[in-house]
């Protein structure tokens, strides 16, 4: 299934049915009088938010949606039936924008949420509605009121608890595949990821959703690379995981480039809690790791975690740090449901990672820790010092 996060569609509610002009004509009833019924109301345009749907591809090949018109009134005071509604099913996190693509008409963030976007037109009155003591045989009847119509934009912003950001080839897709059941495309060339990917991380009895988006390069807010349009999918995230490629020469500059693009995009991304991690540490020597961790700490002013998505080194501390921020955000906003509930996650352990996840709080299972001066100490180094 192809991924589509924006679609422009035309919607129209149904016109109201016309009233009837009719007179009662029966044997032995001399003055039957008017008995024309009213017309029925037109169908509505309804948006329904459904779970287990994460693309707007259904609106790529059909752009016009019209509700049924109301049925006309009939004699014997028969009111016309209401026209059938048209129900548009959209993923969780879909925004409805006006034609100007700026005015937000609705924001659907919960599965099962329904919204009547356009109401159908009212039905017209039949001639029975106009009878009076001075007008006992009216021949007036009204046409139905027209429905509403407009062009709208559907824009999908995926709901996730944590978002992955970084330059191309920083190892974001590898990290997602290592900690979740997701299987994104992984290759050794830039822009392997062309659309966002989601995965559910299981930590014991807790779950949270991680979103991987295409990489950013310098000038992405001006359209360089594939632009920064996909940053909208992490606007709802509670925390960002900034992955830095450890094989880069200047990791501090790499960090500043991505932070500049987040600030240029706006949407409050530069103000979100951030966890910085140095990836691909399996390709570096201990001396290089220490030097680059120190450079990153100076650039971001916060602790930096080393990891390797390929070998699985340092995954548990990173996930534990992410969940700390997510837990704080959930406690601060208890009314906001967990992102995993929108996708029907079922407490299933991640293959090859379940045992490691349950030992996330075990100090002996850690790959290392921070020393008193902020430097990272590997467990292997402690053993070597003890042997000496």
pLDDT tens-digit readout, 213-272: 888 888 877 777 677 778 888 888 999 999 999 888 899 999 999 999 899 888 888 889
Q: What angle do CA 48, 52, 58 make, to 5 degrees?
A: 60
Which of residues 125, 156, 187 is at a domain's end?
Answer: 156
**Whether residue 152 has pLDDT greater than 50:** yes
Domain CATH code at residue 350:
3.40.50.300
Judge if 323 and 358 occupy the same domain: yes
For residue 142, give the nearest of 152, 127, 164 by alpha carbon: 127
Collect all residues with Cβ–Cβ distance below 8 Å to 2 and sequence separation of at least 6. Answer: 55, 57, 60
Dihedral angle over CA of 332, 333, 338, 342, nearest 10: -160
Co-location of 181 and 279 in the same domain: yes
Tell me: the pLDDT tens digits for 323-382? 999 999 888 876 566 666 655 544 444 443 433 444 444 444 445 554 544 455 555 555
Q: Is the pLDDT of residue 64 over 80?
A: yes
Q: Does one domain contain both 135 and 12?
A: yes
Strand-pair category, 274-279 with 304-306:
parallel
Measure the CA–CA gap between 33 and 127, rounded to whole angstroms: 10
Supply 7's token pair. Answer: 């679609």
Distance of CA 333 to the CA centre of its chain: 18
Q: Which residue has the tokens 């406690």?
A: 331
* pTM (two decimals): 0.74
Q: Which pLDDT does position 336 carry in this prediction? A: 63
Backbone dihedral region for residue 374 (phi beyond 0: left; psi -120 to 50: alpha; all else: beta): left
Residues 226 and 370 both lie in one domain: yes
**Listed range (276-280, 288-292, 343-347, 366-370) with the worst mean pLDDT:** 343-347
Whether residues 64 and 116 fall in one domain: yes
The residue segments making up the domain with residue 378 are: 162-387
Task: Report the mean per-residue pLDDT for the chain.
Answer: 84
Domain match, 104 and 216 both? no
Give me the residue label for tokens 């679609």. Answer: 7
What's the pLDDT tens digit per position in 36-63? Answer: 999 999 999 999 999 888 889 999 999 9
- For residues 220 and 216, give the distance between their C-alpha atoms in angstroms, rounded to a whole number: 6
Domain boundary among 156, 183, 216: 156
Confidence of residue 203 (pLDDT cuts 50, 70, 90): confident
State mean pLDDT over 155-182.
Answer: 90
The CATH number of the domain where 31 resides is what?
2.70.210.12
Q: What is the pLDDT, as a whole number, of residue 352?
A: 39
Q: What is the pLDDT of residue 349?
A: 44
Neighbouring C-beta atoms of residue 74, cutoff 10 Å: 19
Q: In what order do the strands lie in the sheet with 162-165?
A: 197-203, 206-212, 162-165, 239-245, 274-279, 304-306
Residues 39 and 131 occupy one common structural domain: yes
Q: Are residues 222 and 176 in the same domain?
A: yes
Window from 35-39, 182-186, 190-194, 244-248 with minimum mean pLDDT: 190-194
128 and 249: one domain?
A: no
| 258, 302: one domain | yes
Q: How many domains does the chain have?
A: 2
Q: What is the pLDDT of residue 361?
A: 41
CB burial string 347-384: b at 16+ within 10 A, e below:
eeebeebeebbbebeeeeebbbeeeeeeebebeeeeee
Q: Please tell me the least confidently modeled range out of 94-98, 137-141, 218-222, 293-297.
A: 218-222
Among 93-107, 203-217, 313-327, 343-357, the minimum mean pLDDT is found in 343-357
Shared domain for 170 and 297, answered yes or no, is yes
Q: What's the CA gap between 349 and 326, in Å, rounded?
A: 19
Output phi, psi for 248, to 5 deg: -70, 150
Q: Domain ends where: 118, 134, 156? A: 156
- 175 and 141 both lie in a single domain: no
């Amino acid at each position: 299934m192809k991924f589509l996060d924006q679609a422009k569609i035309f919607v129209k509610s149904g016109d109201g049915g016309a009233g009837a002009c009719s007179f009662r004509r029966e044997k032995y009833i001399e003055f039957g009088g008017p008995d024309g019924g009213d017309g029925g109301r037109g169908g509505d345009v309804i948006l329904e938010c459904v779970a287990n749907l994460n693309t707007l591809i259904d609106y790529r090949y059909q752009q016009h949606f019209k509700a049924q018109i109301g049925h006309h009134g009939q004699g014997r005071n028969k009111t016309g039936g209401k026209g059938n509604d048209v129900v548009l099913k959209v993923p969780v996190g879909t925004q409805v924008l006006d034609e100007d693509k700026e005015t937000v008409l609705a924001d659907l963030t919960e599965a099962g949420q329904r919204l009547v976007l356009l109401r159908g037109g009212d039905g017209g009155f039949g001639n029975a509605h106009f009878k009076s003591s001075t007008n006992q045989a009216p021949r007036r009847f009204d046409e139905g009121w027209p429905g509403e119509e407009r062009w709208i934009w559907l824009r999908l912003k995926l709901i996730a608890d944590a978002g992955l950001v970084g330059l191309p080839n920083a190892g974001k897709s590898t990290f997602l595949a290592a900690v979740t059941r997701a299987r994104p495309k992984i290759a050794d060339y830039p822009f392997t990821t062309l659309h966002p990917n989601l995965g559910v991380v299981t930590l014991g009895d807790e779950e949270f959703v991680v979103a991987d988006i295409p990489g950013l390069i310098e000038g992405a807010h001006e359209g360089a690379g594939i632009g920064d349009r996909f940053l909208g999918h992490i606007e709802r995230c509670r925390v960002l995981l900034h992955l830095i490629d450890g094989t880069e020469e200047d990791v501090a500059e790499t960090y500043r480039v991505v932070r500049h693009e987040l600030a240029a995009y706006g949407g409050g991304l530069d103000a979100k809690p951030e966890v910085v991690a140095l990836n691909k540490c399996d390709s570096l020597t201990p001396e290089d790791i220490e030097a680059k961790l120190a450079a990153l700490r100076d650039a971001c002013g916060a602790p930096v975690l080393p990891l390797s998505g390929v070998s699985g080194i340092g995954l548990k501390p990173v996930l534990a740090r992410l969940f700390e921020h997510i837990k704080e955000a959930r406690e601060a906003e208890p009314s906001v449901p967990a992102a995993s509930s929108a996708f029907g996650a079922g407490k299933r352990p991640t293959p090859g990672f379940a045992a490691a996840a349950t030992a996330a709080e075990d100090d002996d299972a850690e790959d290392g820790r921070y020393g008193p001066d902020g430097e990272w100490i590997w467990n292997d180094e402690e053993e070597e010092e003890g042997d000496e």
